[in-house]
Amino acid sequence: MTPVPVVDMLSSRQQAYLDAMDIGVWSLRMPAVGVKESAKKPIQLKLGPGGGGVLLICATDNESAGRLANDINRALGCVPVWAWPMAEDGAVELTRAIDDKLFTTLAIFGEQLASQFFDGEPPSCLNSASLVILPSMQDIQNHAAARRALWLTFCRSGMLEAG
């Protein structure tokens, strides 16, 4: 049986009994002063218009309003919610956006943008949303191989709406 953590609630008498029976007691330790948190500060997102269960994160608001974004909307068969990193009033944290808007799929355009949200390897899902990393918008615009990879990812991830 493993010991259960106890927060300094034992009297000196109880502690003496446990010591006499050679039973160790766990206690919480405070971290050393000056230890820095390793977690990244959550990036705030500005959510654009749209609906449904798909959240697409691009690098800038201009990317979400361009011709390529309209083509992606038509390919998906829906009007997804587009978002981009922005620190201002009205911006929300990624996990809160997923919970509040009930997104089921989160797609981030580009490995570099995804690395801003996650340390190391991105998880396969975040809260209730499955996570998909797509080629960057710039790569999709400029390279046929990136457009093929985008289409394959859409097909495999189930992001396409039956129309």
Q: What is the pLDDT of residues 92-125, one digit of tens each?
A: 898 888 988 888 999 999 999 998 888 888 888 8
**pLDDT score of 41 more than 50:** yes
Say if CB 58 and CB 113 are below 8 A apart. Answer: yes
Homologous superfamily (CATH) for 44-157 = Uracil-DNA glycosylase-like domain (3.40.470.10)
The DSSP symbol for 121 reads S
Residue 28 has pLDDT above 90, yes or no: no
Query: What is the pTM for the complete model shown?
Result: 0.71
Domain boundaries, the chain: 1-29, 44-157
Q: State mean pLDDT over 51-69.
A: 91
Average per-residue pLDDT for the chain:
82
Instruction: Indicate whether 2 pLDDT > 90.
Output: no
A 10 A CB-CB count for 1 gives: 3
Q: What is the pLDDT of residue 35?
A: 41
What local confidence, expressed as pLDDT, does residue 32 receive? Answer: 53
